[in-house]
Structure 1
Amino acid sequence: MTDTTIAPPQAEVRPAVREIGIIMNGVSGRMGYRQHLVRSILAIRDQGGIVLSDGTKVTVKPLLVGRSEAKLADLADKHGIEDYTTDLDAALADPRWEIYADFLVTKARSAALRKAIAAGKTIYTEKPTAETAAEALELAKLAAAAGVKTGVVHDKLYLPGLQKLKRLIDSGFFGRILSVRGEFGYWVFEGDWQPAQRPSWNYRTEDGGGIIVDMFPHWNYVMENLFGEVKSVYAQAAVHIADRWDENGEHYTATAEDAAYGI
Protein backbone atom coordinates (compact mmCIF):
# COMPACT_ATOMS: atom_id res chain seq x y z
CA MET A 1 0.00 0.00 0.00
CA THR A 2 1.40 3.41 -0.98
CA ASP A 3 1.37 6.29 1.51
CA THR A 4 -0.22 9.25 -0.26
CA THR A 5 -0.05 11.62 2.69
CA ILE A 6 0.90 15.11 1.49
CA ALA A 7 3.10 17.11 3.82
CA PRO A 8 1.72 20.57 4.60
CA PRO A 9 3.57 23.43 2.91
CA GLN A 10 6.34 24.94 4.96
CA ALA A 11 5.55 28.38 6.26
CA GLU A 12 7.83 31.09 4.89
CA VAL A 13 10.37 32.10 7.49
CA ARG A 14 10.68 35.86 7.57
CA PRO A 15 13.61 37.51 9.32
CA ALA A 16 12.83 39.45 12.47
CA VAL A 17 12.81 43.17 11.83
CA ARG A 18 14.52 45.60 14.20
CA GLU A 19 13.56 49.25 13.94
CA ILE A 20 16.30 51.82 14.46
CA GLY A 21 15.31 55.34 15.49
CA ILE A 22 17.35 58.09 13.82
CA ILE A 23 17.40 61.75 14.84
CA MET A 24 17.80 63.72 11.60
CA ASN A 25 18.89 67.27 12.39
CA GLY A 26 18.87 69.75 9.51
CA VAL A 27 16.66 67.93 6.98
CA SER A 28 14.89 71.09 5.89
CA GLY A 29 18.10 72.13 4.10
CA ARG A 30 18.78 71.14 0.50
CA MET A 31 21.38 68.45 1.17
CA GLY A 32 19.75 67.08 4.30
CA TYR A 33 16.42 66.74 2.55
CA ARG A 34 17.34 65.40 -0.87
CA GLN A 35 20.42 63.29 -0.25
CA HIS A 36 19.92 62.07 3.29
CA LEU A 37 16.19 62.00 4.01
CA VAL A 38 14.56 61.20 0.66
CA ARG A 39 17.26 59.26 -1.19
CA SER A 40 18.65 57.38 1.80
CA ILE A 41 16.54 56.97 4.94
CA LEU A 42 13.08 57.07 3.34
CA ALA A 43 14.29 54.81 0.53
CA ILE A 44 15.36 52.22 3.13
CA ARG A 45 12.08 52.60 5.00
CA ASP A 46 9.94 52.34 1.87
CA GLN A 47 11.64 49.16 0.67
CA GLY A 48 10.91 47.53 4.01
CA GLY A 49 14.41 47.70 5.47
CA ILE A 50 17.70 45.95 4.77
CA VAL A 51 18.64 42.30 5.35
CA LEU A 52 22.04 42.04 7.04
CA SER A 53 24.66 39.35 6.45
CA ASP A 54 23.53 37.40 9.53
CA GLY A 55 19.98 37.16 8.19
CA THR A 56 18.47 39.77 10.48
CA LYS A 57 16.60 42.71 9.05
CA VAL A 58 16.67 46.35 10.12
CA THR A 59 14.49 49.26 9.16
CA VAL A 60 14.63 52.91 10.07
CA LYS A 61 12.33 55.39 11.77
CA PRO A 62 13.27 59.07 11.39
CA LEU A 63 12.71 61.88 13.86
CA LEU A 64 12.95 65.22 12.06
CA VAL A 65 14.64 68.04 13.97
CA GLY A 66 14.95 71.67 12.95
CA ARG A 67 14.24 75.28 13.89
CA SER A 68 10.97 75.72 11.98
CA GLU A 69 8.06 73.61 13.22
CA ALA A 70 6.02 74.60 10.16
CA LYS A 71 8.70 73.29 7.75
CA LEU A 72 9.08 70.07 9.75
CA ALA A 73 5.33 69.52 9.85
CA ASP A 74 5.12 70.00 6.09
CA LEU A 75 7.92 67.48 5.45
CA ALA A 76 6.40 64.99 7.88
CA ASP A 77 2.99 65.23 6.23
CA LYS A 78 4.46 64.96 2.73
CA HIS A 79 6.41 61.79 3.48
CA GLY A 80 4.27 60.05 6.09
CA ILE A 81 6.66 60.66 8.99
CA GLU A 82 5.18 60.51 12.47
CA ASP A 83 7.80 62.31 14.55
CA TYR A 84 9.30 65.79 14.41
CA THR A 85 10.46 68.36 16.96
CA THR A 86 12.28 71.66 17.39
CA ASP A 87 13.73 70.48 20.73
CA LEU A 88 17.07 68.77 20.06
CA ASP A 89 17.83 68.29 23.74
CA ALA A 90 14.59 66.37 24.28
CA ALA A 91 15.27 64.22 21.23
CA LEU A 92 18.77 63.34 22.46
CA ALA A 93 17.39 62.45 25.90
CA ASP A 94 14.88 59.98 24.43
CA PRO A 95 16.24 56.38 24.31
CA ARG A 96 13.98 55.49 21.37
CA TRP A 97 16.38 57.30 19.06
CA GLU A 98 19.70 55.43 18.83
CA ILE A 99 21.44 57.42 16.11
CA TYR A 100 22.08 61.13 15.74
CA ALA A 101 22.50 62.27 12.12
CA ASP A 102 23.73 65.83 11.55
CA PHE A 103 23.10 67.82 8.36
CA LEU A 104 23.27 71.31 9.80
CA VAL A 105 25.19 74.22 8.33
CA THR A 106 28.89 73.88 9.14
CA LYS A 107 28.94 76.64 11.73
CA ALA A 108 26.25 74.97 13.87
CA ARG A 109 27.52 71.39 13.66
CA SER A 110 30.20 71.21 16.35
CA ALA A 111 27.91 72.29 19.20
CA ALA A 112 25.25 69.78 18.18
CA LEU A 113 27.78 66.96 17.88
CA ARG A 114 29.05 67.69 21.38
CA LYS A 115 25.52 67.28 22.71
CA ALA A 116 25.05 64.01 20.82
CA ILE A 117 28.35 62.64 22.15
CA ALA A 118 27.38 63.57 25.70
CA ALA A 119 24.06 61.80 25.19
CA GLY A 120 25.87 58.62 24.09
CA LYS A 121 24.28 58.47 20.65
CA THR A 122 25.82 56.73 17.67
CA ILE A 123 26.72 59.53 15.25
CA TYR A 124 26.57 59.96 11.49
CA THR A 125 27.43 63.43 10.25
CA GLU A 126 27.99 65.52 7.18
CA LYS A 127 31.43 66.93 6.65
CA PRO A 128 33.31 68.84 7.89
CA THR A 129 32.78 67.93 11.52
CA ALA A 130 34.14 71.35 12.54
CA GLU A 131 35.54 74.54 11.03
CA THR A 132 39.11 73.94 12.27
CA ALA A 133 41.36 70.89 12.47
CA ALA A 134 41.88 71.44 16.21
CA GLU A 135 38.16 71.38 16.94
CA ALA A 136 37.61 68.35 14.69
CA LEU A 137 40.33 66.44 16.58
CA GLU A 138 38.79 67.47 19.88
CA LEU A 139 35.41 66.09 18.79
CA ALA A 140 37.03 62.83 17.70
CA LYS A 141 38.75 62.49 21.08
CA LEU A 142 35.51 63.22 22.95
CA ALA A 143 33.69 60.54 20.95
CA ALA A 144 36.46 58.00 21.54
CA ALA A 145 36.47 58.72 25.27
CA ALA A 146 32.69 58.32 25.39
CA GLY A 147 32.88 55.02 23.51
CA VAL A 148 30.38 56.03 20.86
CA LYS A 149 30.52 54.90 17.26
CA THR A 150 30.95 57.70 14.76
CA GLY A 151 30.87 58.08 11.00
CA VAL A 152 31.38 60.97 8.57
CA VAL A 153 30.01 61.19 5.03
CA HIS A 154 32.31 59.54 2.47
CA ASP A 155 29.74 59.33 -0.30
CA LYS A 156 31.99 60.32 -3.21
CA LEU A 157 33.84 57.00 -2.89
CA TYR A 158 30.77 55.28 -4.31
CA LEU A 159 30.26 57.39 -7.41
CA PRO A 160 30.38 55.08 -10.47
CA GLY A 161 33.29 56.95 -12.07
CA LEU A 162 35.46 56.74 -8.96
CA GLN A 163 34.54 53.09 -8.44
CA LYS A 164 35.72 52.33 -11.98
CA LEU A 165 38.86 54.39 -11.50
CA LYS A 166 39.73 52.44 -8.34
CA ARG A 167 39.28 49.13 -10.16
CA LEU A 168 41.66 50.29 -12.89
CA ILE A 169 44.24 51.47 -10.34
CA ASP A 170 44.00 48.22 -8.37
CA SER A 171 44.39 46.18 -11.56
CA GLY A 172 47.66 47.94 -12.42
CA PHE A 173 46.20 49.48 -15.58
CA PHE A 174 48.07 52.78 -15.07
CA GLY A 175 51.29 51.23 -13.83
CA ARG A 176 53.08 53.22 -11.13
CA ILE A 177 51.21 56.50 -10.57
CA LEU A 178 53.64 59.35 -10.02
CA SER A 179 51.32 62.36 -10.03
CA VAL A 180 47.66 63.22 -10.31
CA ARG A 181 45.84 66.34 -11.42
CA GLY A 182 42.13 66.75 -10.82
CA GLU A 183 39.62 69.47 -11.62
CA PHE A 184 36.13 69.73 -10.19
CA GLY A 185 33.48 72.38 -10.38
CA TYR A 186 30.30 73.63 -11.93
CA TRP A 187 28.83 77.04 -12.54
CA VAL A 188 26.75 78.26 -9.63
CA PHE A 189 24.40 81.00 -10.78
CA GLU A 190 24.77 84.33 -9.04
CA GLY A 191 21.09 84.28 -8.10
CA ASP A 192 19.84 87.46 -9.80
CA TRP A 193 18.16 86.26 -13.00
CA GLN A 194 18.50 82.53 -12.26
CA PRO A 195 18.17 80.95 -8.77
CA ALA A 196 21.50 79.76 -7.35
CA GLN A 197 21.94 75.99 -7.00
CA ARG A 198 23.72 76.34 -3.67
CA PRO A 199 22.56 78.16 -0.52
CA SER A 200 23.86 81.67 0.06
CA TRP A 201 25.61 80.78 3.34
CA ASN A 202 28.12 78.78 1.26
CA TYR A 203 29.57 82.12 0.13
CA ARG A 204 29.78 83.85 3.53
CA THR A 205 32.76 83.17 5.79
CA GLU A 206 30.83 84.41 8.81
CA ASP A 207 28.27 81.62 8.26
CA GLY A 208 30.85 78.86 7.83
CA GLY A 209 31.00 78.99 4.04
CA GLY A 210 33.90 78.54 1.63
CA ILE A 211 35.04 75.93 -0.86
CA ILE A 212 38.02 74.82 1.22
CA VAL A 213 36.09 73.88 4.35
CA ASP A 214 33.24 72.51 2.23
CA MET A 215 34.96 70.44 -0.45
CA PHE A 216 38.51 69.66 0.72
CA PRO A 217 37.19 67.03 3.19
CA HIS A 218 35.77 65.16 0.17
CA TRP A 219 38.99 65.37 -1.81
CA ASN A 220 41.03 64.24 1.18
CA TYR A 221 39.31 60.88 1.48
CA VAL A 222 39.04 60.48 -2.31
CA MET A 223 42.80 61.03 -2.71
CA GLU A 224 43.67 58.71 0.15
CA ASN A 225 41.32 55.96 -1.03
CA LEU A 226 42.57 56.08 -4.62
CA PHE A 227 46.20 57.17 -4.56
CA GLY A 228 47.83 57.43 -1.15
CA GLU A 229 48.20 59.35 2.09
CA VAL A 230 47.85 63.12 2.02
CA LYS A 231 50.76 64.48 4.08
CA SER A 232 50.55 68.21 3.44
CA VAL A 233 48.37 70.67 1.54
CA TYR A 234 48.65 74.28 0.50
CA ALA A 235 46.08 76.17 -1.51
CA GLN A 236 45.29 79.46 -3.21
CA ALA A 237 41.75 80.62 -2.45
CA ALA A 238 39.90 83.13 -4.59
CA VAL A 239 36.60 84.99 -4.73
CA HIS A 240 35.95 85.10 -8.46
CA ILE A 241 32.34 86.28 -8.19
CA ALA A 242 31.73 88.73 -5.37
CA ASP A 243 28.22 89.92 -6.29
CA ARG A 244 25.54 87.38 -5.48
CA TRP A 245 21.85 87.30 -4.57
CA ASP A 246 20.39 85.20 -1.76
CA GLU A 247 17.24 83.05 -1.50
CA ASN A 248 15.10 86.16 -1.01
CA GLY A 249 16.52 87.97 -4.02
CA GLU A 250 18.62 90.29 -1.83
CA HIS A 251 22.08 91.29 -3.06
CA TYR A 252 25.08 90.39 -0.88
CA THR A 253 28.85 90.43 -1.27
CA ALA A 254 30.57 87.04 -1.10
CA THR A 255 33.12 86.88 1.73
CA ALA A 256 34.09 83.22 1.32
CA GLU A 257 36.12 81.80 -1.55
CA ASP A 258 34.22 80.30 -4.48
CA ALA A 259 37.35 78.63 -5.88
CA ALA A 260 40.44 76.95 -4.45
CA TYR A 261 43.59 75.67 -6.14
CA GLY A 262 45.35 73.16 -3.95
CA ILE A 263 48.55 71.12 -4.10
Structure 2
Amino acid sequence: MKLATLRLHTSTAAVRVDDDSTATVIDGYADLSELLSDPDWKTLAQNASGATVDLARADYAPVVPHPGKIVCVGLNYRSHIREMGRDLPEYPTLFTKFADALTGPYDEVVVPAHAASELDWEAELAVIIGKQAYQVPEPEAADYIAGYSVINDYTMRDYQYRTLQWDQGKNFYRTSGFGPFLVTDYTLGTRIETRLEGQVMQSATTDDLVFTPAQLVDYISHIVPLHPGDVIITGTTGGVGHARKPARYIQDGETVEVSIDGIGTLENKTVIK
Protein backbone atom coordinates (compact mmCIF):
# COMPACT_ATOMS: atom_id res chain seq x y z
CA MET A 1 0.00 0.00 0.00
CA LYS A 2 1.14 3.54 -0.80
CA LEU A 3 0.11 6.58 1.26
CA ALA A 4 0.76 10.33 1.08
CA THR A 5 -0.12 13.71 2.61
CA LEU A 6 -1.55 16.18 0.11
CA ARG A 7 -2.22 19.91 0.34
CA LEU A 8 -5.83 20.52 -0.65
CA HIS A 9 -6.85 24.18 -0.87
CA THR A 10 -6.46 25.54 2.71
CA SER A 11 -5.95 22.19 4.43
CA THR A 12 -4.15 18.89 4.05
CA ALA A 13 -5.39 15.30 3.84
CA ALA A 14 -4.04 11.81 4.31
CA VAL A 15 -4.61 9.80 1.15
CA ARG A 16 -4.22 6.28 -0.18
CA VAL A 17 -2.51 6.29 -3.57
CA ASP A 18 -4.48 3.94 -5.79
CA ASP A 19 -2.47 4.20 -9.02
CA ASP A 20 -0.25 6.64 -10.89
CA SER A 21 -3.09 9.09 -11.47
CA THR A 22 -5.54 8.90 -8.55
CA ALA A 23 -5.67 8.80 -4.76
CA THR A 24 -8.48 8.37 -2.22
CA VAL A 25 -8.88 10.69 0.76
CA ILE A 26 -8.82 8.94 4.15
CA ASP A 27 -11.61 10.92 5.78
CA GLY A 28 -11.03 12.37 9.23
CA TYR A 29 -7.22 12.54 9.05
CA ALA A 30 -5.45 15.73 8.08
CA ASP A 31 -2.14 14.01 7.36
CA LEU A 32 -0.22 10.80 7.86
CA SER A 33 1.04 11.96 11.26
CA GLU A 34 -2.57 11.95 12.47
CA LEU A 35 -3.41 8.71 10.71
CA LEU A 36 -0.46 6.80 12.17
CA SER A 37 -1.50 7.82 15.68
CA ASP A 38 -4.58 5.62 15.27
CA PRO A 39 -3.80 1.96 16.09
CA ASP A 40 -6.08 0.90 13.21
CA TRP A 41 -4.33 3.12 10.65
CA LYS A 42 -3.66 0.34 8.17
CA THR A 43 -7.26 -0.92 8.10
CA LEU A 44 -8.56 2.66 7.86
CA ALA A 45 -6.31 3.33 4.89
CA GLN A 46 -7.20 0.09 3.14
CA ASN A 47 -10.94 0.72 3.56
CA ALA A 48 -10.92 4.45 2.79
CA SER A 49 -13.67 5.59 0.43
CA GLY A 50 -13.38 9.38 0.52
CA ALA A 51 -13.09 11.82 -2.36
CA THR A 52 -10.92 10.94 -5.34
CA VAL A 53 -7.91 13.20 -5.99
CA ASP A 54 -6.29 13.72 -9.38
CA LEU A 55 -2.56 13.25 -8.74
CA ALA A 56 -1.62 15.11 -11.92
CA ARG A 57 -2.42 18.33 -10.04
CA ALA A 58 -1.50 17.15 -6.55
CA ASP A 59 0.53 19.31 -4.16
CA TYR A 60 2.51 17.01 -1.87
CA ALA A 61 3.34 17.98 1.70
CA PRO A 62 6.13 16.24 3.63
CA VAL A 63 4.84 12.68 3.73
CA VAL A 64 4.80 12.61 7.55
CA PRO A 65 4.63 16.33 8.38
CA HIS A 66 4.83 16.26 12.18
CA PRO A 67 7.09 13.50 13.47
CA GLY A 68 7.65 13.63 17.20
CA LYS A 69 11.29 12.81 16.59
CA ILE A 70 13.58 12.31 13.64
CA VAL A 71 16.62 10.17 14.39
CA CYS A 72 19.36 10.32 11.77
CA VAL A 73 22.14 7.80 11.26
CA GLY A 74 25.52 8.93 10.02
CA LEU A 75 28.10 6.81 8.18
CA ASN A 76 25.83 3.85 7.52
CA TYR A 77 26.66 2.92 3.91
CA ARG A 78 29.89 1.08 3.32
CA SER A 79 30.61 3.11 0.17
CA HIS A 80 30.19 6.44 2.00
CA ILE A 81 32.31 5.30 4.95
CA ARG A 82 35.10 4.36 2.54
CA GLU A 83 34.98 7.68 0.67
CA MET A 84 35.20 9.57 3.98
CA GLY A 85 38.25 7.51 4.97
CA ARG A 86 36.70 5.94 8.07
CA ASP A 87 36.41 2.44 9.51
CA LEU A 88 33.11 0.56 9.69
CA PRO A 89 31.38 1.52 12.96
CA GLU A 90 30.63 -0.90 15.77
CA TYR A 91 27.53 1.07 16.75
CA PRO A 92 25.26 3.47 14.83
CA THR A 93 26.25 7.15 14.83
CA LEU A 94 23.08 9.03 15.80
CA PHE A 95 22.07 12.67 15.53
CA THR A 96 18.76 14.49 15.25
CA LYS A 97 16.76 16.50 12.74
CA PHE A 98 13.83 18.71 13.69
CA ALA A 99 10.46 18.60 11.95
CA ASP A 100 10.99 22.27 10.98
CA ALA A 101 13.68 21.09 8.55
CA LEU A 102 11.18 19.08 6.47
CA THR A 103 9.63 20.33 3.24
CA GLY A 104 7.52 18.81 0.50
CA PRO A 105 9.07 16.45 -2.03
CA TYR A 106 8.62 18.95 -4.88
CA ASP A 107 8.91 22.24 -2.98
CA GLU A 108 11.65 24.76 -3.62
CA VAL A 109 14.40 24.60 -1.01
CA VAL A 110 15.16 28.18 0.00
CA VAL A 111 18.60 28.56 1.59
CA PRO A 112 19.80 31.74 3.30
CA ALA A 113 22.89 33.15 1.62
CA HIS A 114 24.96 32.91 4.82
CA ALA A 115 24.60 29.10 4.75
CA ALA A 116 24.99 28.52 1.02
CA SER A 117 28.72 28.11 0.48
CA GLU A 118 28.87 24.30 0.85
CA LEU A 119 25.42 22.88 0.10
CA ASP A 120 25.42 19.10 -0.28
CA TRP A 121 22.99 16.30 -1.10
CA GLU A 122 22.40 13.07 0.82
CA ALA A 123 19.99 10.49 -0.61
CA GLU A 124 18.48 8.48 2.23
CA LEU A 125 15.96 5.77 2.99
CA ALA A 126 13.51 6.91 5.68
CA VAL A 127 11.90 4.40 8.06
CA ILE A 128 8.55 5.44 9.55
CA ILE A 129 7.35 3.94 12.82
CA GLY A 130 3.82 2.53 13.00
CA LYS A 131 3.38 1.72 16.70
CA GLN A 132 5.16 2.45 19.94
CA ALA A 133 8.47 0.63 20.13
CA TYR A 134 10.48 0.37 23.32
CA GLN A 135 13.28 -2.13 23.82
CA VAL A 136 12.21 -4.03 20.71
CA PRO A 137 14.55 -6.88 19.65
CA GLU A 138 15.70 -6.98 16.05
CA PRO A 139 13.65 -10.09 15.04
CA GLU A 140 10.43 -8.27 16.03
CA ALA A 141 11.32 -4.84 14.67
CA ALA A 142 9.55 -5.18 11.31
CA ASP A 143 6.20 -5.30 13.12
CA TYR A 144 6.82 -1.76 14.39
CA ILE A 145 7.62 -0.22 11.00
CA ALA A 146 4.70 1.41 9.17
CA GLY A 147 6.64 1.88 5.98
CA TYR A 148 9.43 3.58 4.08
CA SER A 149 9.98 6.81 2.21
CA VAL A 150 12.65 8.96 0.54
CA ILE A 151 14.43 11.96 2.04
CA ASN A 152 17.27 14.26 1.01
CA ASP A 153 19.25 14.99 4.17
CA TYR A 154 20.27 18.32 2.68
CA THR A 155 23.45 19.41 4.43
CA MET A 156 25.29 22.70 4.95
CA ARG A 157 28.81 21.29 5.27
CA ASP A 158 30.41 24.48 6.57
CA TYR A 159 27.96 24.54 9.47
CA GLN A 160 28.17 20.76 9.99
CA TYR A 161 31.93 20.80 10.51
CA ARG A 162 32.16 23.91 12.67
CA THR A 163 31.99 21.59 15.69
CA LEU A 164 32.13 17.87 16.43
CA GLN A 165 28.30 17.83 16.59
CA TRP A 166 26.61 17.67 13.18
CA ASP A 167 23.07 18.85 13.98
CA GLN A 168 23.59 22.50 13.02
CA GLY A 169 24.41 21.55 9.43
CA LYS A 170 21.35 19.33 9.08
CA ASN A 171 18.49 21.47 10.37
CA PHE A 172 18.08 24.56 8.25
CA TYR A 173 14.43 25.51 7.91
CA ARG A 174 12.47 23.62 5.24
CA THR A 175 15.49 22.21 3.45
CA SER A 176 14.90 18.43 3.59
CA GLY A 177 12.58 17.17 0.87
CA PHE A 178 10.57 14.26 2.27
CA GLY A 179 8.27 11.93 0.33
CA PRO A 180 6.31 11.77 -1.79
CA PHE A 181 5.04 8.39 -0.56
CA LEU A 182 5.02 6.09 2.43
CA VAL A 183 5.25 2.56 1.05
CA THR A 184 4.23 -0.16 3.48
CA ASP A 185 5.99 -3.04 1.70
CA TYR A 186 9.64 -2.65 0.79
CA THR A 187 12.64 -4.98 0.67
CA LEU A 188 16.23 -3.72 0.89
CA GLY A 189 18.33 -4.02 -2.24
CA THR A 190 16.83 -1.59 -4.75
CA ARG A 191 18.65 1.29 -6.42
CA ILE A 192 19.08 4.57 -4.50
CA GLU A 193 20.28 7.56 -6.54
CA THR A 194 20.85 11.30 -6.49
CA ARG A 195 20.84 13.36 -9.68
CA LEU A 196 22.02 16.97 -9.74
CA GLU A 197 20.72 18.80 -12.78
CA GLY A 198 20.11 15.37 -14.32
CA GLN A 199 23.64 14.04 -13.68
CA VAL A 200 23.92 10.96 -11.48
CA MET A 201 25.96 11.82 -8.36
CA GLN A 202 25.06 8.93 -6.04
CA SER A 203 24.10 5.42 -7.12
CA ALA A 204 24.03 2.34 -4.91
CA THR A 205 21.62 -0.22 -3.51
CA THR A 206 20.03 -0.04 -0.08
CA ASP A 207 21.45 -3.40 0.98
CA ASP A 208 24.83 -1.64 1.33
CA LEU A 209 23.62 -0.41 4.74
CA VAL A 210 25.83 -1.39 7.68
CA PHE A 211 22.87 -1.25 10.10
CA THR A 212 19.51 -2.34 8.67
CA PRO A 213 16.16 -0.75 9.59
CA ALA A 214 15.44 -3.63 11.98
CA GLN A 215 18.80 -3.23 13.68
CA LEU A 216 18.24 0.51 14.01
CA VAL A 217 14.80 0.07 15.56
CA ASP A 218 16.38 -2.36 18.03
CA TYR A 219 19.27 -0.04 18.89
CA ILE A 220 17.35 3.23 19.11
CA SER A 221 14.38 1.78 20.98
CA HIS A 222 16.75 0.57 23.69
CA ILE A 223 17.64 4.24 24.25
CA VAL A 224 14.29 6.03 23.83
CA PRO A 225 10.73 4.96 22.94
CA LEU A 226 9.80 5.35 19.27
CA HIS A 227 6.24 6.51 18.69
CA PRO A 228 3.91 6.24 15.67
CA GLY A 229 5.01 8.70 13.03
CA ASP A 230 8.58 8.97 14.28
CA VAL A 231 11.20 8.76 11.54
CA ILE A 232 14.60 7.08 11.30
CA ILE A 233 16.78 8.38 8.47
CA THR A 234 19.19 5.58 7.69
CA GLY A 235 22.23 7.35 6.20
CA THR A 236 23.57 8.16 2.76
CA THR A 237 25.69 6.31 0.24
CA GLY A 238 28.91 7.29 -1.47
CA GLY A 239 29.00 10.18 -3.94
CA VAL A 240 28.35 13.22 -1.78
CA GLY A 241 29.67 16.50 -3.12
CA HIS A 242 31.91 17.21 -0.14
CA ALA A 243 33.98 14.05 -0.73
CA ARG A 244 34.66 14.80 -4.42
CA LYS A 245 37.98 16.19 -5.59
CA PRO A 246 37.40 18.96 -6.29
CA ALA A 247 34.31 19.27 -4.08
CA ARG A 248 31.02 19.85 -5.89
CA TYR A 249 28.28 21.78 -4.10
CA ILE A 250 24.71 22.69 -5.04
CA GLN A 251 24.39 26.11 -6.68
CA ASP A 252 21.53 28.58 -6.87
CA GLY A 253 18.82 27.35 -9.23
CA GLU A 254 20.04 23.76 -9.37
CA THR A 255 17.62 20.87 -8.90
CA VAL A 256 18.37 17.81 -6.80
CA GLU A 257 16.44 14.60 -7.52
CA VAL A 258 16.56 11.66 -5.11
CA SER A 259 14.97 8.30 -5.90
CA ILE A 260 14.68 4.84 -4.41
CA ASP A 261 13.31 2.18 -6.73
CA GLY A 262 10.14 0.69 -5.32
CA ILE A 263 9.37 3.76 -3.18
CA GLY A 264 9.46 6.98 -5.21
CA THR A 265 11.28 10.10 -6.33
CA LEU A 266 11.52 13.61 -4.92
CA GLU A 267 12.80 16.67 -6.71
CA ASN A 268 13.71 20.01 -5.11
CA LYS A 269 15.01 23.16 -6.77
CA THR A 270 17.50 25.17 -4.71
CA VAL A 271 16.94 28.91 -4.29
CA ILE A 272 19.59 30.95 -2.47
CA LYS A 273 18.41 34.19 -0.88
TM-score band w.r.t. shorter chain: under 0.3
Query: Taking CA–CA contacts closer than 8 Å with sequence separation of 6 or more, which of the two structures ends up with the larger relative contact order?
Result: 2
Q: How high is the TM-score relative to the length of structure 2?
A: 0.25
Q: Which has the higher helix share?
A: 1
TM-score by length of 1: 0.25
Which structure features the higher share of strand residues? 2
